[in-house]
Amino acid sequence: MQETRIQDRGEAGTIDPAEAPGEKAPVLEARIRGGVAAELRHDSAAKHVTGTARYLDDDPEPPGMLQVFIAMSRHAHARIVSMDLSAVEAAPGVVTVLTAADIPGQNDYSPVFGDDPIFPTDKVEYVGQPLFAVAAETIHQARAAAKLARADYEALPHAVDFDAALAAADAAGEDLLPPHEMRKGDADAVLGRAGRRVRGRLEMGGQDHFYLEGQIAYALPGEDGDVLVRSSTQHPSEVQHNVAKMLDVPDHAVTVEVRRMGGGFGGKESQPALFAAVCALAAHKTGRPAKCRLDRDDDMEMTGKRHEARIAYDLAFDADGRVEAAAFDHLIRCGYSRDLSGAIADRAMFHADNAYALPAARITSRRLKTHTVSNTAFRGFGGPQGMLGMERAMDRAAFELGLDPLDLRKRNFYPAEGAETTPYGMPVTDSVIGEIVEELEETSNYRARREAVKRFNEGNPHLKKGLALTPVKFGISFTTTHLNQAGALVHVYKDGSVALNHGGTEMGQGLFTKVAQVVAEEFQIDVTHVKITATTTAKVPNTSATAASSGSDLNGMAALNAARTIKDRLIAYACERYQVPREQVVFLPNRVRIGNQEKRFRDLVGEAYLARVSLSSTGFYATPGISYDRETASGKPFYYFAYGAACSEVVIDTMTGENRLLRVDILHDVGRSLNPALDRGQIEGGFVQGLGWLTTEELWWDGAGRLRTHAPSTYKIPTANDRPDDFRLALWTKGENRAETIFRSKAVGEPPFMLAISAFSALTDAVIAAGKGRRFPEALDAPATPERVLAAVNEVRG
């Protein structure tokens, strides 16, 4: 047992003399392996490629595990007159059928508003809404049995698109959520007397998350009515709370655990509570473990998506192309229930300015009910929609003012110095967008390519190119202020190894790797000594969702604080034991200098254990200095902003509307990167996902309110051939967070998604070229499918 100096057996402190502290000289390393800023691989990379990384459905199933199938509504809006499930119950293999009547507590899985019934009792409000569930010995039996249900419905009128939703809301005199407004100055007065005024409207589609691992959870019943739920969720605490309130037990009776998800993107923030609740209910009712894993089509029909938005813009400009005032009216399609729509629609408003200082602004937002699945969090959380509205306005204004769109954009950026305020009254003190765009303009060779694109367009009758360079400024923090908190739990074992746990969840973004790097850095030990463990509500309570790009900001800090507490105890021990002042205890790579001697880290830890020093600590972090008053729509909702820019070149076929991205250049600010390799992965992946939203990914509902694009055969996320070979991605080397974040890094999960707006702007530019610059393609909505591009070409040529 060379590794463990102190054995559990035997008398504490009796040590093999050969292994005595100080006997073995520490290795003098200049740098730990896997500290902060190292390009460490994802902690599970080797497991991913060998298929040994376990996802929930890979866990060995305990004997007797029931398989649960959720039957769905085929009506968009109907009253349930009667439902006869007797044939379902009698079907082969069926153990139980679950309905609202089985729920001991609250029949609800919503995050906030109490309006998402697990099983509806009187009416259904979207095609795909859960109706009842069947728990059987096999999933095939459960599925087959569900088809035997007999139900009578009375159809009610349904609203699916914006116009129908508006009409219904106006008739009812009420929107799904109250409207909201932000004001800065008197924008309408300025607009009313403006000489150069640009108005228009843009509609953008939603987006399915298409995480490769579909929704899944399983529940293991325990004693005393306890239940252990393993859930593929970004929000274990919310799953815990929802299961508890459904079962009418205290939160402490429910433990939720997640090691990793096969992708989340926001789709596993509020949605997983449903599946966890259903299998917990099955477990509660039968006493048997129960699993609920969704088929892809069912997942896409049953779960929420990115919000569709319709944005009207109205901007006034001075003679130099500076914005004098801007007004945006947002219409947001929420689906049948509130879910997170309020905060999402708010974030769309927070990003209506994108990177531009608006001397006067009015932003209104209406949140509309539709008889479709309840839209939910998706990377960017409303930000992309708000930002796209502004960038369309910029493209339109540049067209009307006869300017290169980049020149117009540059004239309106938030300045680097000074403190121009946002429409919600927050001073922007950290703007680096001007600098980033200058640099990207240079490195992307924008001006020369602008000329080359023009030449190409003059020489080709059927194909037209477009070019655009667009900025991103994205606010970092949950705008619901209390969510900006995190906890961690760090144990140092007496062999010097470390177990790390925190409230963040791993969905592929590399959060676990980054936080482990933080802990390694703080202790100055190789990251291989830090064990990454599954997120569980039993270790860190009351966590926020891993969302809002906040994972490493919040959990990194909490883990740092936990490690620092233990480190402080080790320092205090060393000071006392070796009678040195505090500043003479220095943590060096894998060793500690105490006065004029050096010890291996693990030797110091072993000694501290013998001296009865606690080697375990929680850590906590709450983002300082943020607040937002929703009544006045003002405050400082964000701790800081993340910035980036992208330049895209596209080509369109004016005869078919087909289009391709030819090249993209990205310059993105991640502050001082915790892990450049992981950050690049987030940026590239975010960009391509954004590209899908704006080009090929189309949600298509038929007249009956049925989503007809509910599988990869019909819903088209990008493939490898959609990513241009010429993809030039750089982290901004000057990046440093002015806010005191974890090692001065910046959040990177969501902001890069919106870099893809450059591709949409470039498509707009290409369509303008197709009309020889005579008209602006007002009809070019998102996603820019071949059909929409062709229609826009017709419009500008019309």
Partner 1 sequence: MMAHEKGPIRYLLNGRERVIEGVKPTTTILEHLRRAERLTGTKEGCAEGDCGACTVMLSEPDGAGGIRRRAVNACIQFVPALHGRSVETIEAIGGQGLAPVQAAMVNSHASQCGFCTPGFAMQLHVGWLNGEIADRQSVKDLVSGNLCRCTGYGPIVDAGLSLAGQAPPLDAAADAALAERLAALGGEAMLAYEAPGGRWFAPRDVDELADTYAAHPDAVLISGATDVGLWVTKQQRELPLLIDVSRVWDLRQVEEAPGRTIFGAGVSHAAAISALTRIHPDLGEVMRRFAGHQIRAMGTLGGNIANGSPIGDLAPCFIALGAGLHLRMGDSMRGLRLEDFFLDYGKQDRRPGEFVAAIDVPDLGNNEAFFARKISKRFDSDISAVMAAFRLKIEGGIVTDAALAFGGMAGTPKRAKAAEAALIGQAFGAEAAGRAAAALAKDFAPLTDIRASSRYRLEAAGNLIRRFAAEHEGGRNDLFAVTAEVA
CA-CA-CA-CA dihedral for 136, 141, 143, 147, to nearest 10: -110
- Give me the phi and psi of 232, to 5 degrees please: -85, 90
Q: What is the 3-state secondary structure (H, E, C) of 156-202?
A: CCCCCCHHHHHHHHHHHCCCCEEEEEEEECCHHHHHHCCCEEEEEEE
DSSP for 470-515, written as a single string: EEEEEEES-SSGGG-EEEEEEEE-TTS-EEEEES---SSS-HHHHH
Distance CA 315, CA 327 (A): 6
Q: How far is the CB of 295 from partner 1 (least distance, A)?
A: 6
- Among residues 61, 750, 787, 795, which one is catalytic? 750
Looking at 265, 356, 732, 743, which residue binds partner 1 (CB under 8 A)? 265
Distance CA 534, CA 707 (A): 35
Q: Which of residues 300-329 bind partner 1 (CB under 8 A)?
A: none
Q: Which of residues 221-260 bind partner 1 (CB under 8 A)?
A: 260
Is 753 a binder of partner 1 (CB under 8 A)? no
Choose one: 36-44, 335-343, 535-543, 594-602; the region binding partner 1 (CB under 8 A). Answer: 36-44
Q: x/- site string to partner 1, residues 91 to 130, per CB under 8 A? A: ----------------------------------------
Q: Which of residues 767-786 bind partner 1 (CB under 8 A)?
A: 785-786
Nearer to partner 1, 462 or 738 (CB): 462
Cβ burial, residue 414 (10 Å; 0-12/13-18/19+): buried
Choose one: 1-9, 366-374, 393-401, 504-512; the region binding partner 1 (CB under 8 A). Answer: 504-512
Please report which helix (H) or strand (E) contains residue 153, including its range: strand 150-155
Query: Residue 784: how many CB atoms within 10 A of its CB?
Result: 25
Choose one: 44-52, 321-329, 389-397, 612-620; the region binding partner 1 (CB under 8 A). Answer: 44-52
Name which of 296, 423, 289 is nearest 354 in CA terms: 423
Radius of gyration, CA atoms only, the chain: 28
Is 454 a binder of partner 1 (CB under 8 A)? no
For residue 750, indicate whether it is catalytic: yes
Is 148 a binder of partner 1 (CB under 8 A)? no
Nearer to partner 1, 180 or 797 (CB): 797
Q: Which of residues 685-744 bind partner 1 (CB under 8 A)?
A: 685-689, 696, 698, 700, 708-709, 711-714, 716-727
Looking at 19, 57, 102, 795, which residue binds partner 1 (CB under 8 A)? 57
Q: Are 479 and 549 in contact (CB under 8 A)?
A: no
Name which of 548, 765, 749 is nearest 668 in CA terms: 749
Query: Residue 175: how many CB atoms within 10 A of its CB?
Result: 20
Q: How far is the CB of 791 from partner 1 (least distance, A)?
A: 8
Looking at 115, 297, 404, 598, which residue binds partner 1 (CB under 8 A)? 297
Is 662 a binder of partner 1 (CB under 8 A)? yes
Looking at 15, 21, 33, 48, which residue binds partner 1 (CB under 8 A)? 48
Tokens of 168: 């219904």
Amino acid at 141: Q
Query: Residue 652: how many CB atoms within 10 A of its CB?
Result: 28
Q: Which of residues 460-489 bind partner 1 (CB under 8 A)?
A: 460-463, 465
Choose one: 172-180, 505-513, 613-621, 633-641; the region binding partner 1 (CB under 8 A). Answer: 505-513
Is 410 a binder of partner 1 (CB under 8 A)? no
Is 657 a binder of partner 1 (CB under 8 A)? yes
Q: How far is the CB of 718 from partner 1 (least distance, A)?
A: 7
Name which of 755, 753, 758, 690 is nearest 718 in CA terms: 690
**Residue 707, strand partner residues:** 701
Is 578 a binder of partner 1 (CB under 8 A)? no
Q: How far is the CB of 388 from partner 1 (least distance, A)?
A: 19
Is 795 a binder of partner 1 (CB under 8 A)? no
Q: How far is the CB of 783 from partner 1 (least distance, A)?
A: 8
Is 677 a binder of partner 1 (CB under 8 A)? yes
Distance of CA 332 to the CA centre of its chain: 19
Catalytic residues: 750
